[in-house]
Amino acid sequence: MCPVRISLLSLVLASTSTVLLSTANNVPVPVFKSFPTTIKTSIHDTVLLPCYVENLGVNGIRWWKDERLLWDTSDEKVTPPDNIRVFPNQTLEVADLKDSDTGDYICQVVRP
């Protein structure tokens, strides 16, 4: 998992990385390439939260905020709030930041 912390008035983002430790059939293991990050910004700004994963393969990505699922590449029924979108490289964009965007954001690799 790759957690990110957002807090406002000054927005602070911090992230760390976790790696899946085992695989079957010698398939390369997904590896987070996102580094711990702290970003300071303000209300109404836009931030990008990276989730760079090497060897993602057939695995999916989930984005969480405060234990609430925001995005799941394998579940089209999960739709993020209007000010949030996910790019093809799994980066999460939070636009027009507001107080309700404060919280912990986590990027997770999910096996099919």
Q: pLDDT tens digits for 1-59?
A: 555 555 543 333 444 444 445 555 677 888 888 776 666 778 899 999 988 888 888 88
Per-residue pLDDT at 14:
40
Based on the structure, what is the number of domains in the chain?
A: 1
Q: Identify which has the larger pLDDT, 66 or 11.
A: 66
* Distances in whole angstroms, Cα of residue 30 to Cα of each of 48, 50, 87: 21, 15, 18
Query: Domain of 52: which CATH number?
Result: 2.60.40.10
**pLDDT, position 26:** 73
CB–CB of 24/11 below 8 Å? no
For residue 64, the enclosing domain spans: 2-110
